[in-house]
Amino acid sequence: MSSTDKPEFTVKLWCRKSRKAHSISIRTLPPYGVEIVLPESTNDNFVKKIIGQNQAYINRKLSQIEKRNLDIKPLTIFFPVTNEHINIVYLKSASIDKPLEVVDGTLTLNEPTGMESLIDNSKLLQVWLQKRATCILKDILDTTAQKLNIPYNKIKVGPRKSIWGSCSYKQNINLNRNLIFLKSDLIEYVITHELCHVFEMNHSPSFWSLLNEVFPNYRKIKGQLRSNANSSIPSWALV
pLDDT single digits (tens) 31-83: 788 999 999 999 989 999 999 999 999 999 898 887 777 678 889 999 999 99
CB 226 within 8 A of CB 219: no
For residue 88, what are the β-bridge partners? Answer: 107
Is the domain 76-237 a CATH 3.40.30.120 member? Answer: no
DSSP β-bridge partners for residue 70: none
Give the pLDDT mean for 185-189: 96
- What stretches of 6-43 show up as alpha helix (H) in DSSP? none
Residue-wise pLDDT tens digits, 161-175: 779 999 999 999 999
Predicted local distance difference test score (pLDDT) of residue 114:
76
Strand-pair category, 84-91 with 106-110 = parallel
**CB of 178 within 8 A of CB of 237?**
yes
Residues of the chain with CATH 3.30.2010.10: 76-237
**Max Cα separation, the chain?**
66
Strand 25-29 relative to strand 33-39: parallel, antiparallel, unpaired? Answer: antiparallel
